[in-house]
A and B are shown apart, each in its own frame.
Chain A
Amino acid sequence: MSTAASALRDDRLPLNFTVNGRARSLRAEPRTHLGDVLRDTLDLTGTHLGCEHGICGACTVLLDGEPARACLTVSGACAGADITTIEGLDDDPVAGELRAAFNREHALQCGYCTPGMLIAARDLVLRLPDADERRIRAGLSGNLCRCTGYVGIVRAVRSVIAERRARGIGPTTGGQRGLGPVGARLGTSSGTASDAARTPLRPVAQAETAPSIADLDGDFVPAHRFDQSFTVAHPPDTVFALFGDVEAVAACLPGAMLTGQPNPDAVEGALQVRIGPIAARFRGRARIFRDEAARTGRILGAGSDAGGRSATQGEIRYRVGPGETPGTARIDLAVGYTLKGPLAQFGRPGLVRDLAGRLGADFAANLEARLSGAPAPAATGLNPLRLLLTMLTTSLRRRLAAWGRRP
């Protein structure tokens, strides 16, 4: 949540571009995408917004004459661009033929997808060599319609292509335009290189919205499981003894930080993880069980991220056994976890496994170093000290939300 101060701060930037042939000057926040600028500032509500992450195609407009997603084009990125919306195609001959064909073939019902559909269809009419149904269907795959079943739409597009080619109008090649993203001007330094960016962007006060500490479900059944193992060049007894030292284990785990006083069977803390540009910080507590005789253990934990939108529960079972050569130990981990809330829509357990693999490798290296009496090597991504420093100086308010699969 923004503080009052940041909510009131006006960080809109001047923006000049051409829309439907008319020069427009306005101000827009950097985070506002072109779809919202068109609809909310210029009242061009023919551009529809559906998924807002590039899948549905409802917001498709022309940038410099080529179709592009308005929802994935931030306002500043189209400074100087030539934008055409569905309203600007009233007198366009291809759009006119398509409107007639859509009408004739019953190619719309609710009409929500239609503006984007017409712009995508117009692009196909211009570019496809002939009225090949497969290529038309493939070309329209980035525009979703939930009413028509597409049959009428495809028929309409086919008929327009066939008629135009029959009239001797050939396809265009798109060969002449400049290189790089459509709508993006060269050289111009739009946006501001000064004030807004160089002032602290988020007040430190808002940085740590402490999440409530999640607790464990008694009847936890993990949705995802994976196994992992690694070896260290130290005897199993030494390794197992170290695993009993909660602070030592946390110090070896990149991104882990303990809060409060740990005791041998319960711990509170935070774990910051990164998957590419996504960063999440989970706070929670864990219970620890150890079986000295079998040299096995079980850690059962739950946490939620700072925004409180995602929660996780997990269980790590570990076993410390002898390695292949005497004096070495092999550690087998069985990890089970469940994600709830928006992060669950991330939907790609493999990415979590990959992350865990890399975390595990760092953990093993740090563990090895610690057992050898060396200071733990600075982790490449995160280490608790750097994490603490970062926390004191900048915002750590990072939340995770849904991430559907997308291109």
Chain B
Amino acid sequence: MKPARFAYERPGDLSALLARLATAEGSVKLMAGGQSLGPMLNLRLVEPDLVLDITGIPELRRASVEGETLVLGACITHADIEDGRVPDLTGGVMARVAMAIAYRPVRNRGTIGGSLVHADPAADWVTSLIALGAEVELASTSGRRRLALEDFVTGALDVALAPGEMLVAVRISALPPGTAWGYVKHCSKIGEFAHAIGAVRIEPHAGRGRVVIGAIERAPLVIPDASDLFGGRIGPDFAERFDARAADARLREAGMTDAVDRYVHVTVLGRAIAQAAAAPPSLTPTVSEAA
């Protein structure tokens, strides 16, 4: 339960970090809070030659609002979001996701950027931020680019980072007024990785709905236009119109062969939809099991 040897560096600014990342030989892992990488190091599932600690870089620990977009540096922690130390344009949706991630000591160091790059299919941010339509900002010595999060997460623990590239920020657009949001995960023990996640973002008056099904041990299943899950039309009565069989068919198409697995995921999705219908649109549902 002790990591294999690695060298450790902690650059103080972003350009130094990117330069080091571009030239370092051997296997290099970036580390933010270390709450995902740490266990893998301790278990020797990962044995990097060099760990680059990115938490000393001021730019990565900033949060700002650019127009209608919230920009969170990669090293913003779950607890920062939970406690409201960063601005919020989602009516409390992100705080509610954050406060149910793992445990408080983990949330005090675990970061939003680290969670997305680790891309565990059962992680909360992977599914919830895809449902929110978030973008990631990537940087390397040759420049920056932005990518929709759903294109960034390419598979279980797999992301579209090029060699020498890192995630520097997450960009989350404001939820339009009147948006209904539901996010439900199923865990058999509080704080463990979810066995099923349903995230729904519905604009009943615009007739639009986006559904994401997560914790399916591959990249989340994204349904950008979910109207066929609601009998072909999304309206204020969307919760009554939810068609569980259509959702089941989507999961079957996505390759989920086990009927019990599909049932659990469809049930959790149904609860997320019910939650979206019950909560006043874009108001903060603060009730949470987590503390």
A residues near B (Cβ < 8 Å) are 2, 6, 11, 13, 29-33, 36, 51-54, 57, 60, 63, 66-69, 71-74, 76-77, 79, 120, 123-124, 127-128, 134-136, 138-139, 141-143, 173-175, 177-193, 196-197, 200-202, 275-278, 348-351, 353-355, 357-358, 394-395, 397-407
B224 within 8 A of partner (CB): no
Q: Which residues of A contact B218 (CB under 8 A)?
A: 350, 353-354, 357
Complex CA–CA separation, A66 to B78 (angstroms): 13
Known: A401-B44, A404-B43. 13 other contacts (CB 8 A): A30-B8, A31-B2, A52-B2, A77-B31, A142-B103, A179-B73, A188-B56, A196-B7, A201-B5, A275-B157, A275-B158, A350-B121, A358-B158
Measured CB to CB, the nearest residue on chain B to A400 is B45
Whole-angstrom distance between the Cβ of A127 and the nearest chain B Cβ: 7
B102 within 8 A of partner (CB): yes
Q: Which residues of B contact A53 (CB under 8 A)?
A: 1, 38-39, 42-43
Whole-angstrom distance between the Cβ of A310 and the nearest chain B Cβ: 11
Of A136, A181, A186, A353, which is in contact with the most chain B CB atoms at under 10 Å from its CB? A181
B179 within 8 A of partner (CB): no
Measured CB to CB, the nearest residue on chain B to A342 is B43
B118 within 8 A of partner (CB): yes
The interface on chain B, measured as residues whose beta carbon lies within 8 A of the other chain's beta carbons, has a size of 88
Whole-angstrom distance between the Cβ of B29 and the nearest chain A Cβ: 6
What is the number of contacts between chain A and chain B, taking CB atoms within 8 Å? 285
Whole-angstrom distance between the Cβ of A50 and the nearest chain B Cβ: 10
Whole-angstrom distance between the Cβ of A243 and the nearest chain B Cβ: 24
Complex CA–CA separation, A60 to B183 (angstroms): 29
- Are A128 and B291 in touch, CB under 8 angstroms? yes
Q: Which residues of B contact A190 (CB under 8 A)?
A: 10, 56
- Are A6 and B5 in touch, CB under 8 angstroms? yes
B79 within 8 A of partner (CB): yes
B86 within 8 A of partner (CB): yes
B233 within 8 A of partner (CB): no
Contact of B42 among A33, A174, A177, A354 (CB under 8 A): A33
Contact of A189 among B12, B37, B105 (CB under 8 A): B12
B140 within 8 A of partner (CB): no
Complex CA–CA separation, A397 to B27 (angstroms): 11
- Are B291 and A136 in touch, CB under 8 angstroms? yes
Whole-angstrom distance between the Cβ of B285 and the nearest chain A Cβ: 16
Q: Which residues of B contact A134 (CB under 8 A)?
A: 289
Complex CA–CA separation, A395 to B216 (angstroms): 34
- Are B53 and A127 in touch, CB under 8 angstroms? no
Measured CB to CB, the nearest residue on chain A to B83 is A174
- Are A138 and B289 in touch, CB under 8 angstroms? yes
Complex CA–CA separation, A13 to B41 (angstroms): 19
With A179-B85, A189-B10, A276-B119 already in contact, the answer to whether A74 and B34 are too (CB < 8 A) is yes
21 contacts across the A-B interface (CB closer than 8 A): A31-B41, A53-B1, A53-B43, A54-B39, A68-B109, A72-B39, A74-B53, A120-B104, A139-B290, A142-B102, A173-B83, A175-B84, A179-B75, A181-B75, A197-B7, A197-B24, A276-B119, A277-B40, A278-B40, A394-B49, A399-B47
